[in-house]
C-alpha cells in the first residue's frame, strides 16, 4: 500500500486568451470547477493506473463530492476527514498556449496536528511507501516520524518554497522535481541544464533516487551511477495542469506493480501525454487502458 499525505483542492479553472497582467481586468471564455490538489491528483492517478493507494487528507464537509470522486476511482478514502473548515482551493488561469498560473488557498489542507500525524503513521506497516507534496503543513514532523517507522518516503517539493530547504530531505528515498524545483533545491540558476541539476542533486542527496520532469523535454531518472532519459511523446497540449501529478501517480503505481524503471518512466510519460490533451486536473487523468493503448500504438490518436 502507498499512503499519500496530500492536498485536496477545488480547482476553479478559467480559460483566458493570456494570463492576466498586473492591473488588468480580463474576461474568461470558459469556467469550470473540478477536483484538484497535487495530493488528490496523484492519488487519483495512482488508482486509475491500478495502484493501491490510501489518501490522507482534510476536506470541508460541504465538499464531500471530492472525496466520493477519489473513492469511485478506487482510492482508499478512510483517512480523508471531512471538517468544519473551508476546503483548499486553487484559482487557475489557462491560456490559449496551455500555459497556466495558479493561486492557492490552503484551507483545510493546513489543519493537520501532530496527534493526527502520529495516528496516521501508526496505521501503516514498515516497508510501505509514503508519498507527499508541499501543499499540506507538517512535513518537518512527518518525514522523520515516517522514516523512523520504516516507511519509504517519496517527496515532490511542489509548490517549491523556502521552507522545503529546511526539511530533512536525506530521509527521502525518492524525489520528484521539475526544473524550477530542482533549481530551487540546488541553488543553481533557473537556466541550468538538466545534467547540471542532476549532478548537483546527486552530490546533495547521494542516496536518493531522483526523477526530474521537464514537460515536453521528457524526464530524467538518476540513482547512484545510473542516469537515464525518457523522451516525451509529441502531443498538442491544451492544459498542462496536473500533468506532473499524473506522471507521479502512474510512476508510483508501475513501481508498486514491480516494473523496472524503464517501463515505469514509459507508462508515466504516456499518461502525462494523454493528460495534457484534456482540460482540468483530476478530470484529465487517463485510465490504465488508455495508457496501454497509447504504449502499444503511439501513432494512434488518443481519445478526446
Ligand atoms: O498540480 C496541479 C494542482 O496544483 C492543481 O490541481 C491545483 O489544485 C494545485 O494544487
Q: Residue 89: CB within 6 Å of ligand 1?
A: no
Q: What is the pLDDT of residue 299?
A: 76
Q: Are residues 118 and 142 in contact, defined by beta-carbon separation less than 8 angstroms?
A: no
Output the nine-digit C-alpha cell for 155: 517527496
In angstroms, the CA 188 to CA 124 distance is: 37
Sheet containing strand 226-230, edge to edge, reads 76-83, 53-60, 2-5, 129-133, 152-156, 174-178, 209-213, 219-223, 226-230
Give residue 300's pLDDT band: very low, low, confident or very high (50, 70, 90): low
C-alpha cell at 250: 502512474
Instruction: Answer whether 38 contacts ligand 1 (Cβ < 6 A).
Output: yes
In the structure, what pLDDT confidence band is assigned to residue 53 with cuts at 50, 70 and 90? very high
Q: Which of 9, 45, 159 to mutate for ligand 1's pocket (most ligand atoms within 8 Å of CB)? A: 9
Q: Indicate if ligand 1 lies below 6 Å from the C-beta of 245.
A: yes
Q: Please check whether residue 156 is in contact with residue 38, taking contact to mean a CB–CB distance below 8 angstroms.
A: yes
Please give the pLDDT value at position 302.
Answer: 54
Residue pair 88/6 in contact by the 8 Å Cβ criterion: no
pLDDT tens profile 250-279: 999 999 999 999 999 999 999 999 999 999
pLDDT band at 148 (very low <50, low <70, confident <90, very high): very high
Please tell me the distance between residue 157's alpha carbon and the centre of ligand 1 in angstroms.
13
Of the candidates 42, 11, 39, the one whose C-alpha atom is nearest the C-alpha of residue 246 is 42
Q: Is the CB–ligand 1 distance for residue 239 below 6 Å?
A: no
Atom nearest to 89 CA in ligand 1: 8
Nearest alpha carbon to residue 92 among 4, 171, 183, 16: 16
Cα distances (Å, whole numbers) of residue 105 to 9, 135, 206, 287: 9, 10, 34, 29
Mean pLDDT over the full length of the chain: 97
Bridge partners (DSSP) of residue 211 are 176, 221
C-alpha torsion angle, residues 38, 163, 110, 210 (rounded to 10)? 30
Q: Where do runs of H (alpha helix) occur along 85-237?
A: 114-122, 139-148, 179-186, 194-204
Q: Atom of ligand 1 at shortest distance to CA of 35?
A: 6
> Of 169, 171, 152, 151, which is closest to residue 160 (Cα–Cα)?
169
What is the helix (H) or strand (E) element at residue 53, kind and residue range? Answer: strand 53-60
Cβ(36) – ligand 1 distance below 6 Å: yes
Please state the rounded mean pLDDT for residues 144-159. Answer: 98
Share of the chain above pLDDT 70, in %: 98
Neighbours of 22 (CB within 10 A): 4
Residue boundaries of the structural domains of the chain: 2-8+37-86+109-296
90 lines ligand 1 (CB under 6 A): yes
pLDDT at 216: 95
Q: Find the 204 Cα to ligand 1 centroid distance in Å.
A: 28
CATH for 2-8+37-86+109-296 is 3.40.1190.20
Predicted pLDDT at 298:
80
State the Cα–Cα distance between residues 159 and 234, nearest whole angstrom.
26
User: pLDDT tens digit string along 213-232?
Assistant: 999 999 999 999 999 999 99
Amino acid at each position: 500500500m502507498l499512503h499519500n499525505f496530500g492536498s485536496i483542492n477545488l480547482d476553479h479553472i478559467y480559460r483566458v486568451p493570456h494570463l492576466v497582467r498586473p492591473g488588468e481586468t480580463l474576461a474568461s471564455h470558459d469556467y469550470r470547477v473540478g477536483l484538484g490538489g497535487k495530493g488528490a491528483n496523484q492519488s487519483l492517478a495512482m488508482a486509475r493506473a491500478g495502484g493501491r493507494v490510501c489518501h490522507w487528507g482534510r476536506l470541508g464537509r460541504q465538499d464531500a463530492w471530492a472525496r466520493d470522486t477519489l473513492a469511485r476511482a478506487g482510492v482508499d478514502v478512510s483517512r480523508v476527514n471531512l471538517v468544519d473548515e473551508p476546503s483548499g482551493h486553487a484559482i487557475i488561469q489557462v491560456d490559449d498556449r496551455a500555459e497556466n498560473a495558479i493561486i492557492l488557498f490552503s484551507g483545510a489542507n493546513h489543519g493537520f496536528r501532530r496527534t493526527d500525524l502520529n495516528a496516521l503513521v501508526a496505521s501503516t506497516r514498515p516497508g510501505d511507501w509514503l508519498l507527499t507534496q508541499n501543499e499540506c503543513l507538517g512535513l518537518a514532523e512527518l518525514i522523520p516520524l515516517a522514516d523512523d517507522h520504516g516507511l519509504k518516503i517519496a517527496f515532490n517539493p511542489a509548490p517549491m518554497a523556502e521552507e522545503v530547504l529546511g526539511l530533512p530531505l536525506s530521509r527521502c528515498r525518492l524525489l520528484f522535481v521539475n526544473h524550477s524545483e530542482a533549481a530551487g533545491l540546488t541553488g543553481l540558476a533557473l537556466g541550468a541544464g538538466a545534467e547540471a541539476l542532476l549532478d548537483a542533486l546527486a552530490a546533495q542527496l547521494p542516496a536518493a533516487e531522483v526523477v526530474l520532469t521537464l514537460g515536453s523535454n521528457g524526464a530524467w531518472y538518476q540513482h547512484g551511477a545510473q542516469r537515464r532519459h525518457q523522451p516525451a511523446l509529441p502531443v498538442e497540449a491544451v492544459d498542462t495542469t496536473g500533468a506532473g501529478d499524473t506522471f507521479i501517480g502512474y510512476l508510483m503505481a508501475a513501481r508498486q506493480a514491480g516494473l523496472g524503471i524503464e517501463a515505469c518512466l514509459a507508462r508515466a510519460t504516456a499518461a502525462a501525454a494523454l493528460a495534457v490533451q484534456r482540460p482540468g486536473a483530476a478530470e484529465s487523468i487517463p485510465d490504465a487502458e488508455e495508457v496501454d493503448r497509447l504504449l502499444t500504438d503511439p501513432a494512434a490518436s488518443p481519445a478526446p
